[in-house]
Amino acid sequence: MINNKDVTVHIVFPVHNRLESTKDFLTSLSKQSAQNYKLVICDDGSTDGTGEYLSTHHPDVTVIQGNGQLWWTAGINKCVHYVLENSCETDYILTLNNDVLLPDNYIEQKLQRSSEFPDAIIGTLCVYSDNKNIIETSGYIMGFEKCEGKRLTKPGEKRTEKHKGVVEVTHLPGKGVLIPVTVFKDIGLYDEVNLPQYHADTDLILRAHKAGYCVLVDFDSVIYSDVNANNMVLPTHAITLKGIVDTFRGPYSMNNFSIYNNFAKKHFPDRRVKYLLKTYFKTISGLTKRYLQYRLKRLKGT
Please write the tens of the pLDDT for every residue from 6-54.
Answer: 899 999 999 999 999 999 999 999 999 999 999 999 999 999 999 999 9
With a CB cutoff of 8 Å and minimum separation 6, the contacts of 122 are 110, 113, 114, 166, 177, 178, 216, 217, 218, 221
Q: Hey, is 178 helix, strand or coil?
A: strand
C-alpha–C-alpha distance, residues 189 and 83, integer Å = 12
Write down the pTM of the prediction.
Answer: 0.92
pLDDT number for residue 229: 43
pLDDT number for residue 232: 47
Give 139 or 227, the one with higher predicted confidence. Answer: 139
C-alpha–C-alpha distance, residues 264 and 149, integer Å = 12
C-alpha–C-alpha distance, residues 137 and 107, integer Å = 19
Whether 269 shows a pLDDT value over 70: the answer reads yes
Q: Which of these, 195, 193, 151, lies nearest to 173 by C-alpha position?
A: 151
From the number of C-beta atoms within 10 Å of its C-beta (0-12, 13-18, 19+), residue 220 rates as middle
